Structure 1
Amino acid sequence: MSTCPLGPGEQSSQIVKEYDARWPYQVFKSSHFTPPVFAITATGEPLAPGLLFITPGNQSPTPSAKDVAPLIMTDTGQLVFNGPTSNTTNFQYALYKGIDIIIFWSGISAAGANSGHGYGNITFLDASYTEVVTVCPQLGLVTPDNTKYPCEADFHEAYITNRNTIVVSAYNTTPTDLTSVGGPKDGWIFDSLFFEIEPESGDILFRWSALEYIAINDTKQPLAAAGRDQSQPFDCFHINSVVNFGYEWLVNLRNTWSTYMLMAEGDVIWRIQGDTGGDFGPLPDDARFRWQHHAKSHSITSTSISISWFNNYDGINPTTGLEIQLPIFPDRATPVSILKSLSDSSDPIYTAFEGSTQILSNGNTLMGYGSVPVMKEYGPLSPNGSDIRFTARFGADNLVHSYRAFKHEWHATPTTSPSLVVEKTGPCGSGYVSWNGATEATAWAVYEGPNEGMLGFVGKIGYKGFETKFGVAENCVQVVAVVEGKMGARSNVACVKGRGNVAAGLL
């Protein structure tokens, strides 16, 4: 019997805690990825099935997020998929032309007077992580300093409709009369736009402009010194979410504290305003919202609609996850029904910007706190937030953020090969194997031999998360992923040369 047993396989990662502002991160032997360590609090009560989708990024010049990329992770903090290193948002699952895909925006977040807006593209990947299409909208936008960008989708919204189109937000520097808000007649604003686009051709199917339908003096944003010239536009609307239901639209404008239901052609049917109620009359205290994000429609019938929001910090009260039921046609005499107003009284969070509220398949609610790098999952029978089942922090306040956070069921088998590294450890060796993005592998079949040309099957080990560690008896090793009971992708061959020098794996 070998004195170097294969073993059952074990989960392998190390935590790095640097002596600066960097949040703790994981490192692996078989991969260069460095995902964050989750600081997790969980009650053990059932969570919704699925994986967590986040896009950690740095909020300040002081780096704190080690891995700036779209990440899929488990709710135990294990990495599943690490996307390309880039500034990303809106990483999520979608159904496109009948196939399961994931999408993410990547590009440039503007700075200076243009801060809070972005210019980039949206990548579609299928369940093998093969690119389906990359949407690079060219919208003819004007920027404060006349900079031209190759792709002009803003980072706030990227939404796949049920008609296989994509909706993106955009901001256009536009001259307009600002006398209604105490500004100059020949002033300048960021007009909030959204476009419906056919992904593969890039054809623009629909365009909507807030300036054409919304009064500038509906804004709650102080004018201050903005709006006097093109270089300092006034951000009076600030679009941050758009969804369709049928041929109507639900559009959220953060800086008017309002969400609008639009006809297919763009005319406003009604608006709900977070302080006054807008077309619905006064709101109960628990239903009020300000500076809100991520308005989503749910449970639409011929008589009612429910809408969820990420209700940002109003300067006094903590951030909440809000869901309200409204009559489908405005009626000031019918009070709205508060379905959820979620916050954690033991851990109040005050999120000034960004954020998402997602109602999950089992009735739980996931809140991603945007500029505060925290996620919380609330139970289904917790209208006031008393049932907090899961909290995960992945960065330091004011240093790390993730614009939104989602939880999706996702099943994927990459076309890439698993990555294997072998190291000498005492009289034996250790193998480390990972397969970025794999969700369906259940085991590894291990082949060993004295050299690359003489490998034989020695056994199977369990699939133990992103990277699996196992014992090695021979000089050279190769592993094969077991997927749905069948042999799948093969790794590189890795050898311990001279029984002490490591042959590098494919990183």
Structure 2
Amino acid sequence: MRKRSTPRLLAILTAAIVGLGSAVTCAATAQAAPRLPTNPIGTPTYTVNVNKPGGPSGYIFYTTGWAAAVPLPVVPRGLGNTDQSAVIVDKTGRVVWRYTVAQGGSISNFRTQTYQGRKVLTWWEGSGQGGHGAGVDVIADTRGHIIKKITPAGLGSDVHEFRLTPDGRALITSYHQVSADLTSVGGPKHGTLLDCVASVVDVASGRTLTEWSALQHIPLTASAAQYTGLGGAATFDPFHMNSIVLDPVGNLLISFRNLNAAYNIDARTGQILWSAGGKHSSLRMGPGTDFFGQHDVEYADPHTIRLFDNNINVATQLGDSSIKWIRLDPTRRTATLVRRQAHPAGLATAATGNAQALADGYTFGSWGTAPHISEFSPSGEMTYDATLPVGTYRAYLDTWP
């Protein structure tokens, strides 16, 4: 069989990563010259590029292989370690623990959390569904012995979010195919789409306490995605929910990649309290606060959110990806940029990514499909950087066991 040239291979990989088979295109929200995302192929093995003394100590938690959140069905041979594993390494890259799923399975979102007052390992395990996932969320002890597996009642657990709260609940994303009228976005009256559901589950009992449906609260016209009618197995994905956290008073803050927006939801009534970004932001977005295709929207403090801004619109990168800190004032309806942290190499991340707050003002995280894991000091100096074979959905630094 004739060997493909490198440019052809990278074109195939890039097309798959940005989801050209997902039956949607995203309308540009800013004028920018077309630019391909950073090469998604990294080094053959975990390779440490920078490791400066003085930064936080700990172990790195990440997953190998293509994340289920990235719709890449085939990984060509010779691209390094692409097995589906949860891995713990020290900062030199030495593996100290690994869990590999059965062949054909997928694993993602591996991290430490706290359950019933003790540190646990958590991850998602299942199968990729073309940009999302269907499976279960897993809680294990620090030796990897499974304590619980969780799914919301009547729904599968999606790959994007599994977050434990201090009072024993779990915040879980689910993608649910439903029939819907798509005429408002150029589709058929009797079409299908992926509704995104945020569930709050009591971990001990497994009982679902709350379900919040994006389709029931957000109009399809708010989406940056447009139905193209490409057909095939893909289903229209207008929302693409990818993170859920509690706000300082216990309401839900939810990130939607295909809305380019984050929504604050009343956890009791389901009412949308405010939205930041997107077509119909209820906050006035100040200079530099817009984000596109974002991931991992969290609270840095009671008045400031931190997020990973992919800054991408399908195959067009609107600029470098970055971590952003944005101060919100829902009363005055304003959003103000506090800080922006880019990678010194100007990475452009097609999908996935996260940012974790560490002690003493340090920040750690994954650059997603631009296969880097990095750490930054409070002043913005890069104190740690490693390259992976093919990237990871999220990455965390913590003590272990």
Whether the TM-score (by the shorter chain) exceeds 0.5 is yes
Classify 1:330/1:62 alpha carbon distance in 2 versus 1 (closer, same or farther; 3 Å): farther
SS of match in other structure, 1:124 = strand
Cα distance in 2 for partners of 1:277, 1:358 equals 28
Specify the code of the residue in structure 1 equivalent to 2:387.
Answer: R
Given candidates 159, 162, 165, the residue that maps to 1:158 is 162
Matches within 5 A, 1:75-474: 75-85=91-101, 87-110=106-129, 115-140=130-155, 152-225=156-229, 232-245=234-247, 246-264=249-267, 265-274=269-278, 278-284=281-287, 286-300=288-302, 305-314=303-312, 315-327=317-329, 329-332=330-333, 334=334, 336-345=335-344, 347-382=345-380, 387-395=381-389, 400-410=390-400, 412=401
Cα distance in 2 for partners of 1:253, 1:316 equals 18
Q: Which residue of 2 aligns with 1:4?
A: none
Q: Which residue of 1 aligns with 2:76?
A: 62
Post-superposition offset of 1:78: 1.4
- Confirm or deny: 8 A CA contact 1:22 1:65 kept in the other structure: no
- Confirm or deny: 8 A CA contact 1:100 1:126 kept in the other structure: yes
SS of match in other structure, 1:255 = helix
Specify the code of the residue in structure 1 equivalent to 2:184.
Answer: S
Cα distance in 2 for partners of 1:109, 1:80 equals 27
Cα distance in 1 for partners of 2:348, 2:229 equals 27
Spell out structure 1 runs of 4+ moving beyond 4 A.
none
- Confirm or deny: 8 A CA contact 1:135 1:200 kept in the other structure: no
Classify 1:67/1:203 alpha carbon distance in 2 versus 1 (closer, same or farther; 3 Å): same
User: Once the two structures are superposed, what CA deviation does each residue of 1:23-64 show, in whole Å capped at 9, x if it has no partner?
Assistant: 53xxxxxxxxxxx4323223x252223211110114533143
Specify the code of the residue in structure 2 equivalent to 1:182.
Answer: G
Post-superposition offset of 1:364: 1.0
Cα distance in 2 for partners of 1:53, 1:77 equals 11
Q: Which residue of 1 aligns with 2:50?
A: 41
Post-superposition offset of 1:354: 0.8
SS of match in other structure, 1:208 = strand
Post-superposition offset of 1:138: 4.7
Post-superposition offset of 1:373: 1.6
SS of match in other structure, 1:352 = coil
Q: Which residue of 2 aligns with 1:499?
A: none
Post-superposition offset of 1:351: 0.7
- Confirm or deny: 8 A CA contact 1:242 1:252 kept in the other structure: yes
Q: Which residue of 1 aligns with 2:17?
A: none
Post-superposition offset of 1:173: 1.0
User: Once the two structures are superposed, what CA deviation does each residue of 1:469-489 show, in whole Å capped at 9, x if it has no partner?
Assistant: xxxxxxxxxxxxxxxxxxxxx
Q: Which residue of 1 aligns with 2:15?
A: none
SS of match in other structure, 1:62 = coil
User: Once the two structures are superposed, what CA deviation does each residue of 1:73-130 show, in whole Å capped at 9, x if it has no partner?
Assistant: 11111112112335211111111111111101111112xxxx1121111221123433
- Confirm or deny: 8 A CA contact 2:42 2:387 kept in the other structure: no
Cα distance in 2 for partners of 1:45, 1:379 equals 11
Cα distance in 2 for partners of 1:247, 1:184 equals 39
In structure 2, runs of 5+ residues without a counterpart are 1-40, 67-71
Residues paired across the two proteins, number: 344
- Confirm or deny: 8 A CA contact 2:374 2:382 kept in the other structure: yes
Cα distance in 2 for partners of 1:123, 1:167 equals 13
Classify 1:80/1:195 alpha carbon distance in 2 versus 1 (closer, same or farther; 3 Å): same
Classify 1:129/1:61 alpha carbon distance in 2 versus 1 (closer, same or farther; 3 Å): closer
Cα distance in 1 for partners of 2:181, 2:332 equals 33
Classify 1:277/1:209 alpha carbon distance in 2 versus 1 (closer, same or farther; 3 Å): closer
Specify the code of the residue in structure 2 equivalent to 1:311.
Answer: D
* Sequence identity percentage: 26
Cα distance in 2 for partners of 1:217, 1:277 equals 10
- Confirm or deny: 8 A CA contact 1:373 1:393 kept in the other structure: yes
In structure 1, runs of 5+ residues without a counterpart are 1-20, 25-35, 141-151, 413-507
Post-superposition offset of 1:406: 1.0
Post-superposition offset of 1:66: 4.6
Classify 1:225/1:73 alpha carbon distance in 2 versus 1 (closer, same or farther; 3 Å): same
User: Once the two structures are superposed, what CA deviation does each residue of 1:356-414 show, in whole Å capped at 9, x if it has no partner?
Assistant: 111212211113011122111111122xxxx111110011xxxx13111111122x2xx
SS of match in other structure, 2:348 = coil
Cα distance in 2 for partners of 1:39, 1:48 equals 16
Cα distance in 1 for partners of 2:46, 2:165 equals 34
User: Once the two structures are superposed, what CA deviation does each residue of 1:219-257 show, in whole Å capped at 9, x if it has no partner?
Assistant: 01132116x79x542100000000113430000110000
User: Once the two structures are superposed, what CA deviation does each residue of 1:179-227 show, in whole Å capped at 9, x if it has no partner?
Assistant: 222222222211011211222432111111000111110101132116x
- Confirm or deny: 8 A CA contact 2:296 2:354 kept in the other structure: yes
User: Once the two structures are superposed, what CA deviation does each residue of 1:256-307 show, in whole Å capped at 9, x if it has no partner?
Assistant: 0010011013210000015x681111320x222100011111211xxxx211
Greater RCO structure (CA 8 Å; 6+ sep): 2
Q: Which residue of 1 aligns with 2:20?
A: none
- Confirm or deny: 8 A CA contact 1:321 1:367 kept in the other structure: no
- Confirm or deny: 8 A CA contact 1:23 1:66 kept in the other structure: no
Classify 1:406/1:277 alpha carbon distance in 2 versus 1 (closer, same or farther; 3 Å): farther
Larger Rg: 1
